[in-house]
A and B are shown apart, each in its own frame.
Chain A
Amino acid sequence: MQLTSFFKSAATLITATCLSLSAATAAQADTFPSRPINLVVPFNAGGGVDAYARALAAGARDLIDVPVVVVNKPGAGGLTGAQSVATARPDGYTLLLTSGGSFLLNTMLNASPVDMFENFQFVSQIGQLSTALMVPANSPYKSANELIAALQENPGKLRWAHSGRGGFHYIAGRAFLESNNLTAQDVPFKGGSPARAALAGAQTDFGFMGIQQARGFGELIHPLALVADERDGIMQDIPTFKELNIPFVNIGSPVVVMAPTKTAADVVAQLNQYLEQITATTTFAELIEKQGTAALYAQPAVIEQKMLDMRTASTPVITQLTGQVQ
C-alpha cells in the first residue's frame, strides 16, 4: 500500500516535470531567444575575426534581450570550433562566426570532418577581409607592374611572405602568380603578424596579407594592389588589381555567421534579422572600423552564392597544391 502510494506520487511528479518541461520548451520556441546565445569563434581572442564577434556582442546589447556570449575555440586552423558548432544542438543558441574564406579553403586542402555547405546554413555575412600585394618600404618595386616585370626577369628567384598555406592570403597570392604565369618562392609564417614583421624587415621581396595589416606601418610597408573588384573602404588610396588591369582571382574572406544545418528556418530568419540590425548600428561599425576592417552585410542566399563562386574559382589552385604533395 505504502509502496503503491510512493509509485503514484513518483509518477505524478515525473508527469508534472515532463509537462512543465515541455511547457518551457514551448514557451522558449515562442520567444526566441530566451537564453544567452553562444557565438563560437574558432580563433584566439584578440585576433581580427574575434574582433568582429566582440563588436557583434557589443552591438547586440541594445537590440536583443539576451546576451551574446563570445566563446573562443581555437585549433586546427578554425576547424575545431567549426566542428563543435556543427555537432551542437541546432536550436539557434550555438552559432559559428568565422572567416569564410579560410574555413572553405581549409576544408578543401585537408581531410576535414566538417563541410561548409553540408553541415551549416548561412545566417548572414557581417564583414569582409581582403588581402593585398605589399612590398617593404625600401623595395625597388614601386608598383605592381614593376614587381611583375622583376618576377618575369627572375622566375622563381623572388620570395614572398604569407600567413600560412591553409589561409586565403596564400591562395590569393598563388592565384595571382598563376594568372600571370609567374613563379616565386613562398615563405609561410605562422599567422599574419609574423608575416608582416618579416616583410617590414625586408626578409622577403613581397607578400600577400590583410589590407588592414598595413595600417600604422606606412614607414615600413607599401601596399601595391588590392585583391578585389572595388577599393577598400578604409585604405582608399590602394588601387585594385582590377583597376590596374592585372589578371587575378578574386579571393577574399567574407566574415560569416553560420548555424547548424538542422536549425529551424524561422529561428535562422530571426537571427538574420538581428544581424542585419546590429551591423547597421554605429556601435558595430565604429568598433570594426577602428581595427581597420570593413563591416559588410549580406543575406544568406547572397553569401552562400559568394562562397560557392569562391570554391569554383579556387579549385584549380587547390588541385595543383594537393597534387604537388601526392
Chain B
Amino acid sequence: MDILVGFATVLSDPWILVAIALASIVGVVIGATPGLTAAAAIAMLLPVTYHVPPLYALAFLYVIGKSGRFGGSIAAILFNTPGTSASAATQLDGYPLAVQGKAGKALKVATVSSVIGDTIGDLILIFGVAYVAQLALKLGPPEYFAIYAMAFVVIGSVIGKSMLKGLASCLLGILVALIGLDSVSGYARFTFDSFQLMNGIGLVPVMIGIFVLGEVFAQMDSMKSGQDTVLHSTAPQSAEDSQLSWMEYRPCLPVAIRSAFTGGLIGMLPGLGSAVAAFVAYATEFRRARNPEQWGKGALEGIAAPESANNAVSGPSMVPLLTLGVPGSTIGAILMGVFLIHGIEIGPTLFLTSRELIFSLFATGLLGIFCYGLIGYFGSGFVGRLIMRVPPNIIYPMIFLTAFVAAYANRSSLFDVLVMCVFGLVGYVMRKLELSTAAFVIAFVLARGAEESLRQALLLSDSGALVFFERPVALLFFALGLGSVGYRMYGLYRDKRKAAALHKTTGNAGESC
C-alpha cells in the first residue's frame, strides 16, 4: 500500500499542502483564460523548481496540469472558446447551456465529471501501474493505428443528417491536417513554399476560427436577414439554473464513469492526448444516448462525457511518461524535464529507485483533484451568475477579443491569428453549406497521428497490411470499431423496419375505419 505511505508523507508536510492548494487555483485560472495555457505557465515556473525539493516542484506542476484541464471547460462553456484544446468537445453542449442561462449548471456538471474522471484515472494509475507499464511497452505503431481507426469510426455519430456531407467535412479535415512537414519522410507537403506552413496548421487557431469566428459570422448573417440573434439569454435567471440536483446528474453518472475508462485507456498511449480522449468519449456516448436529439443543444451528458474523459487521461498518461520516458503532452514533457533537472532517471527502474517519491506524487494528485473540485463546485455558481449579469453587447465583443488573444498567445504567432481568421470563413461557409464542423475538427485532430502510425506500422511489417492481423491487440481494436459500425447499421435497419411495421399497422387501422 505504497499510496498510503505517499499520503502520510504529503499530509505531514504543510508546505506541500500549500503548494497543492496554490497549484489548483493557478491551474483553474490559467485553464479558464483562453490563450494562457498550462504548458506556458509551467514553462515560466520551471526555473523556480530548480531550487525546491523535487516533490514540491513535481506536485505543483502535476496539479496545475490536472486543474488546468478542468479550467479549460470554464472558457469553453462561458465563451465558446476552449481554454485548452482538451475542452473543445465540452463547448459543443456547454455553450448552448450558457446561452440558455444555465452556465452555472453546466459548470457544475463539468466539475463533478472532471473529478470523477480524474479520480478513476488516478486509481487506474495507482493500482494498475505495473500492468499498464507492461502493456504500454508491447504497444507499437500497429496498435496505435488500430485505435486511431476506431476513433475515426466514431466520427460517424457526429456526422449529422447527410452521410455525403459528413464524409466531405471529414476529408476536408484530413486534407488540412496534412499541411506541413511529413513526419515520416521529413519533406514538406501542401506548403506552397511558405515557411510558416511548414509547421503545419495548429489545432487551437483552427478550432477558435471554426467554432467562434464561424459562429459569429453566421450570427451576423442571420442578423442581416432579420432573424433572432440573441447570443446569451437575457431572461432573468432563476436560482435553479445554477444549481445541480442529484436527479439531474444521475443519468450523467454512468456516462462519466464509462468515459473515464475511455480516457484512461487513451491516456496510456502517449501522444493521443486529452483532446482525442474527449472527442472519442463524446462520440461514443452520443451513440448510446437515449436523448440524441438534445445533444449539441445543451445535453448535460454531452458535458459529462468529454470532461470526465479528458481528465481521466491525466493519471494513466503518467505511466508511459515515467516508465518509457514518453510524454503524452507538453505538460508531460516539462514534468520529465523536472525529473531530469533533479537527477532522477526516468525509465523502467524509476519505480524501484524512487518509489516513495512517485507514490507521494500520486497522493498529491488525488488531493489536487479534491481541491479543484471544491473550487469548481462552489465557484461555478458565482461565476455563472456573474456572467449572466453582463449584457450581450459586452459579452459579444469580449468573446471576439478573447478569440484573437487565444489564437495569438498559444504559440505567440501572428500567423496563427491569420489562420484563425481564414478558418472563421471556412467555418462560416461550412455552416452555410450544412457541412459538419465537428466531423471536420475531429478528423483534423486524428489524421496526423493516424497517418504516422499507419506508415510506421507498414515500415515495421514483413507482411504489408497483414501486420494488423498478426497483432492481437490491434485486431481487438479493429473488431471494436467494426462492431460499433455494425451495431449502428443494425440499429438503423431495425428502426426502419419498426417504422415500416408501424406504418403498416396504422395504415391497416385507417382502412378498417
Interface of A with B (CB < 8 Å)? 44-47, 50-51, 54, 57-58, 70, 72-77, 79-80, 83, 109-113, 159, 164-166, 185-190, 193-194, 196-198, 200-201, 203-204, 213, 215-220, 287, 290-292, 325
Across-interface contacts of A72 in B (CB, < 8 A): 43
Across-interface contacts of A217 in B (CB, < 8 A): 325, 347-348
A-B contact sample (19 more), CB < 8 A, given A80-B199, A166-B181: A45-B46, A46-B333, A58-B50, A70-B47, A110-B181, A110-B188, A110-B198, A111-B188, A159-B460, A165-B184, A188-B185, A193-B327, A196-B324, A215-B345, A216-B348, A216-B349, A216-B350, A218-B349, A291-B340
Interface bits B105-137 vs A (CB < 8 Å: 1, else 0): 000000000000000000000000000000001
Smallest CB-CB separation from A137: which chain B residue?
A: B348
Question: Which of A54, A109, A186 is close to B47, meaning CB atoms less than 8 Å apart?
Answer: A54
Question: Which of A57, A79, A112, A203 is close to B141, meaning CB atoms less than 8 Å apart?
Answer: A203
Smallest CB-CB separation from A191: which chain B residue?
A: B326
Q: A54-B47, A79-B198, A325-B185 are in contact. Are A201 and B137 (CB under 8 A)?
A: yes
Across-interface contacts of B46 in A (CB, < 8 A): 45-46, 54
A50 to B337 CA separation, bound complex (whole angstroms): 9
Q: Do A290 and B188 touch (CB < 8 A)?
A: no
Q: A110-B198, A165-B186, A197-B270 are in contact. Are A45 and B43 (CB under 8 A)?
A: yes
Q: Do B330 and A198 touch (CB < 8 A)?
A: no
Q: Closest CB-CB distance, B35 to chain A, in whole Å?
A: 16
Q: Do A46 and B334 touch (CB < 8 A)?
A: yes
Q: Do B326 and A194 touch (CB < 8 A)?
A: yes
A193 to B340 CA separation, bound complex (whole angstroms): 14
Question: Which of B183, B342, B347, B412 is close to A188, meaning CB atoms less than 8 Å apart?
Answer: B183
Smallest CB-CB separation from B140: which chain A residue?
A: A203
A186 to B138 CA separation, bound complex (whole angstroms): 20
Interface bits B441-466 vs A (CB < 8 Å: 1, else 0): 00000000000100010011000000
Q: Which of B332-382 contact A (CB under 8 A)?
A: 333-338, 340-343, 345-350
Q: Closest CB-CB distance, B323 to chain A, in whole Å?
A: 9
Question: Which of A83, A185, A201 is close to B140, meaning CB atoms less than 8 Å apart?
Answer: A201
Q: A46-B327, A57-B47, A193-B324 are in contact. Are A51 and B341 (CB under 8 A)?
A: yes
Question: Which of A50, A290, A325 is close to B343, meaning CB atoms less than 8 Å apart?
Answer: A290
Question: Which of B141, B198, B337, B347 is close to A216, meaning CB atoms less than 8 Å apart?
Answer: B347
B246 lies within 8 A of chain A by Cβ? no
Q: Do B137 and A200 touch (CB < 8 A)?
A: yes
Q: Do A216 and B346 touch (CB < 8 A)?
A: yes
Smallest CB-CB separation from A47: which chain B residue?
A: B333
Across-interface contacts of A185 in B (CB, < 8 A): 459
Interface of B with A (CB < 8 Å)? 39, 42-43, 46-47, 50, 137-141, 181, 183-188, 193, 195, 198-199, 270-271, 320, 324-327, 330, 333-338, 340-343, 345-350, 411-413, 452, 456, 459-460
Across-interface contacts of A197 in B (CB, < 8 A): 137, 270, 320, 324-326
Q: Which of B138, B270, B341, B345 has the most CB of A within 10 A?
A: B341
Across-interface contacts of B459 in A (CB, < 8 A): 159, 185-187
Q: A197-B325, A217-B348, A287-B50 are in contact. Are A187 and B456 (CB under 8 A)?
A: yes
Q: Do B325 and A219 touch (CB < 8 A)?
A: no
Across-interface contacts of B39 in A (CB, < 8 A): 45
Interface CB pairs A-B, < 8 A, 16: A45-B46, A45-B330, A46-B338, A54-B47, A75-B199, A76-B181, A76-B195, A111-B188, A111-B193, A164-B186, A188-B185, A188-B456, A189-B456, A196-B326, A197-B325, A290-B343
Across-interface contacts of B186 in A (CB, < 8 A): 109-110, 164-166, 188
Smallest CB-CB separation from B334: which chain A residue?
A: A46
Across-interface contacts of A77 in B (CB, < 8 A): 181
Smallest CB-CB separation from A80: which chain B residue?
A: B199
Smallest CB-CB separation from A286: which chain B residue?
A: B343
Q: Do B337 and A46 touch (CB < 8 A)?
A: yes
Q: Do B333 and A45 touch (CB < 8 A)?
A: yes
Q: Closest CB-CB distance, B181 to chain A, in whole Å?
A: 7
A186 to B340 CA separation, bound complex (whole angstroms): 29
Across-interface contacts of A198 in B (CB, < 8 A): 140-141
Q: Closest CB-CB distance, A156 to chain B, in whole Å?
A: 12
Across-interface contacts of B137 in A (CB, < 8 A): 197, 200-201, 220
Across-interface contacts of B348 in A (CB, < 8 A): 200, 216-217, 219-220
Which 4 pairs between the two chains have the least Cβ-Cβ distance? A216-B347, A216-B345, A165-B186, A46-B337
Across-interface contacts of B330 in A (CB, < 8 A): 44-46
Q: Do B341 and A287 touch (CB < 8 A)?
A: yes
Smallest CB-CB separation from B194: which chain A residue?
A: A113
Across-interface contacts of A73 in B (CB, < 8 A): 412
Q: Closest CB-CB distance, A164 to chain B, in whole Å?
A: 6
Q: Do A54 and B412 touch (CB < 8 A)?
A: no
Question: Which of A57, A165, A193, A287 is close to B325, meaning CB atoms less than 8 Å apart?
Answer: A193
Q: Do B138 and A201 touch (CB < 8 A)?
A: yes
Across-interface contacts of B141 in A (CB, < 8 A): 198, 203
Q: Do A79 and B195 touch (CB < 8 A)?
A: yes
Smallest CB-CB separation from B352: which chain A residue?
A: A219
Q: Do B270 and A215 touch (CB < 8 A)?
A: no
Smallest CB-CB separation from B411: which chain A residue?
A: A75
Across-interface contacts of A201 in B (CB, < 8 A): 137-140
Q: Do B199 and A291 touch (CB < 8 A)?
A: no
Q: Do A44 and B347 touch (CB < 8 A)?
A: no
A121 to B162 CA separation, bound complex (whole angstroms): 58
A201 to B460 CA separation, bound complex (whole angstroms): 13
A111 to B181 CA separation, bound complex (whole angstroms): 12
